Amino acid sequence: MSKKDLWNSRYQQAVTMPQAAQVLLENKHLLPGNGRALDLACGRGGNAIVLAQHGLQVDAWDISDVAISDLCLLAAEQDLPIDTQVTDVEKTPPQNQTYDVIVVSYFLERSLFPALIEALKKGGLIFYQTFTQSHVSERGPRTQAYRLADQELIELLPGFKLLVYREEGVVGNVEKGFRDEVMYVGIRHE
C-alpha cells in the first residue's frame, strides 16, 4: 500500500473535528499578526484552521487527497483563507524564504529539516510537535525511526533561538505531565 493510500484510508475513517497541536494552541500568542504560514503534512488541517483564524495567509499541504478535501470543506464553511495542496512533501519541499511560520505535527522526515529551515524567512517561527523514542505508552509509531531521540529536535534545527521546549521523557511520575512527545517553538535568527 502506498503512503497516499495508507493516509487516505486513515482519514476516511475520521469522524471528529480536526484538532490543532498542543504546541500551537499553547503558544499561539507568539504568532505574528500577519504573514504567510505553512501547515506541513497537515492532515485534516487543525493547525491550518488555527493559523487562518489568527489572520495568517495559510498553505496546507498533505499527501492525502481525502484529508485535503475535508479541509477544503471546513475552510469554505468557516470562510477561512487556506490554500490547500495535495503534495508529497518529501518529494516537493517548500521553497526558500517563503514562510513567516511553519507548523509540523506528528510528521517526521529528518531529511526535510534543511529545506524547512531555508523555507522560513529570517525571524520566522517553527512550531513542531511529534513523538519521542522515550515513551511511557503505546501511542505513536511503533518504528523508532519515526520517533525523535532525546533532544534531537534541538540538533535538527541549528541557528534557531529556542522559545519553547518541552520533553519530559520518563522522568518522575509518568502518570502526569507531557509524555511520549516533544514540543518546540523556535525563531530563525540567522
Strand partners, 102: 38, 126
Q: State mean pLDDT over 40-68.
A: 97
C-alpha closest to that of 57 among 25, 75, 34, 39: 34
Between 164 and 171, where is the model more confident?
164
pTM score, whole prediction: 0.93
User: Is the separation of the CB atoms in 144 and 130 below 8 Å?
Assistant: no
- Give the residue carrying C-alpha cell 483563507: 81
- Write down the domain spans for the chain: 3-188
- pLDDT > 90? residue 65: yes
pLDDT, position 3: 85
Q: State mean pLDDT over 34-57.
A: 97
For the chain, give the percent of residues with pLDDT over 70: 94
Distance CA 96, CA 38 (A): 13
pLDDT, position 9: 84
pLDDT, one tens digit per residue, over 102-160 is 999 999 999 999 999 999 999 999 999 998 887 767 776 788 888 888 899 999 999 89
- pLDDT > 80? residue 63: yes
Backbone angles phi, psi at 148, to 5 degrees: -85, 140
- pLDDT > 70? residue 59: yes
Cβ atoms < 10 Å from Cβ of 164: 14
Place domain 3-188 in its CATH homologous superfamily.
Vaccinia Virus protein VP39 (3.40.50.150)
Tell me how far CA of residue 12 lies from CA of 5, 44, 101, 136, 184, in angstroms.
Answer: 10, 10, 28, 29, 30
Give how far the C-alpha of residue 150 lies from the chain's centroid of Cα atoms, to the nearest Å.
Answer: 19
pLDDT, position 177: 65
